[in-house]
Amino acid sequence: MNYRPSFAPRMPVVVKNLLIINGLFFLATVMVDQTFMMNTFGAHYFDSQFFKVWQPITYMFMHGGFFHIFFNMYAVFLFGSAIESVWGPKRFLQYYIYTGLGALVIQMGVNAFEIYQLTGGFVTAPYTGGCEILADAYRCPDAFSLELFTLGNAPLVGASGAVFGLLLAFGMMFPNVELMMIFLPIPIKAKYFVILYGLIELFMGAARFEGDNVAHFAHIGGLVTGFILIKIWNTGKPKRFY
């Protein structure tokens, strides 16, 4: 199916509501208390003292700063408007939520693997005695317990997992539309853009550069989940996306 995306003045209903909900969460984070909001609505590892059952959903609407939410919401508007206009609101919302959940599962799986490498198990509590949570950091008796405490208690926030799912869908639906990366202002067809961006995220996640607090494997999780969903939804049907 060939489709040339057009952005009508009327914003699709799910995209519009996603922008509103994310905006409200961000305002609450700024106006109420950032630490409370992050600990309550950000996604935490299962044995964290801050883990709550609603966090796998609410973490998608939390963001760590203005530029974090700005670029994510711009991507939701840009890619989501085109995708929702083809799929309709119900399928689009399902896809958005599922890719966000898939991103969380992959990132928490990576956290669990790292914890297992350090301890031989999947829990952090026995090894993090004496750790404290400060206003904007953690303090522990030694580097080992600090690493474990961070893995277990640092919240995952942001719509980026779902956004990468949207990017994957856009690349499959509109493969020849040209896009540009901010740091590489050269037009690239969407199908190559997705591959390149995915490889960059995989490299950044594996490299684990010091000071990099981006959840790169959550981005990979959004891409992988989106690809699986599109393949499942296309099973036994005429090809709709590429």
pLDDT tens digits for the chain (242 residues)? 444 555 444 789 999 999 999 999 999 999 998 889 999 999 999 999 999 999 999 999 999 999 999 999 999 999 999 999 999 999 999 999 999 999 999 999 999 999 999 999 999 888 888 898 887 788 999 999 999 999 999 999 999 999 999 999 999 999 999 887 666 678 889 999 898 888 888 888 887 766 667 889 999 999 999 999 999 998 645 445 44
Distance CA 103, CA 203 (A): 17
Distance CA 149, CA 133 (A): 10
Pair 150, 139: CB distance under 8 Å = no
Tokens (6 digits) for 41: 């609505």
- The whole-model pTM stands at 0.89
Q: Say what the pLDDT of residue 238 is.
A: 45
Q: Say what the pLDDT of residue 211 is.
A: 66
The domains found in the chain, sorted by start residue, are 13-234 (1.20.1540.10)
CA atoms within 13 A on the CB side of 25: 26
Q: Say what the pLDDT of residue 19 is.
A: 97
- Of the candidates 96, 97, 101, 24, the one whose C-alpha atom is nearest the C-alpha of residue 63 is 24
The neighbouring-strand residues paired with 132 are: 139
Q: Say what the pLDDT of residue 180 is.
A: 76
C-alpha pair distances (Å), 68 with each of 63, 146, 176, 231 = 6, 26, 27, 30
Helix, strand and coil percent figures for the chain, each rounded to 5:
65, 5, 30
